[in-house]
Amino acid sequence: MIELGSLNNPRAAQGFIDYLKSQGLDAKIHSADGSNVIISVLEEDFHQVQPLWAEFTQNPNHERYQQASWDVGSTQSPLKYQGQSLNLMARFKALSWLNQTVSILSLVIYVAFLLGGFNEIYTALQFNPSQPLSWLTPALVHFSAMHIVFNLIWWVSLGDNIEKQCGKLSLIGLFLVTALISNWAQYLMVGPNFGGLSGVVYGLLGFCWIHSFLNPNKPALVSTAIVGFMLIWLVLGFADVLFVGMANWAHLGGLVSGMAFAYTAKIFNAKR
């Protein structure tokens, strides 16, 4: 059998397996930790199953998959469902070193802010055009609980999807490129007083959006609904009608650089 894709929701994955069975297609599901599952199909069925997988990833909670489980008599799975245990530590350990490092550093810096070290730490990490390292460090600085939670959720989710489909080097390159361009864009247009991973997050979003557009036969890295929501959020930020201040130029710089990264990767792979 050949690997079709992976998912960190065993319950939803079982529904997809049952749906394939209801269509007369054979598939298997297996997992090393009981949470992250890999779906495999027969090699001769791969191209037939691909569009069904893409449709599933767009809306894994559609009722057709639950109904399929009832139809084929498989409402239980031998795997451990997320609903039984979040397994947050196991899921975090399954992330790459880059995903973990960026998350941990962001959390450590935020906690240090809360403990009274804001002035010293922020001064050291603030964007400074004469210090190349500071072209990256503002991405690790967050000013509120909502700020860091929002950014880390997207960073972990989009980053993990990109690594699984495109490889670790893609995420490393994306982080460096989008952090540099988004931070420089915000500095040049507004000034050095900013911080947050949202420029990188918009970079990952732009990459996922264009990569999925350029590779329609592969599972979508992000849904069109999420892309639409984030673009509306970007427009509202520039319109200055939100209750929070945002680094709008960092968001735009990250989005554009992430989109460009996807196009460049496509051209490079085609030539290679």
Catalogue the active-site residues: 198, 251
Residue 224 and residue 230: Cα distance in Å, rounded?
Answer: 10
Phi, psi of 31 (to 5 degrees): -150, 145
Residue 221 and residue 162: Cα distance in Å, rounded?
Answer: 7
> Residue 45 in contact with residue 26, Cβ under 8 Å?
yes
Q: Amino acid identity of 21?
A: K
Write out the H or E segment, with its range, that includes residue 28. strand 27-31
**185 by DSSP, 3-state: which?**
helix
- β-pair partners for 37: 7, 31
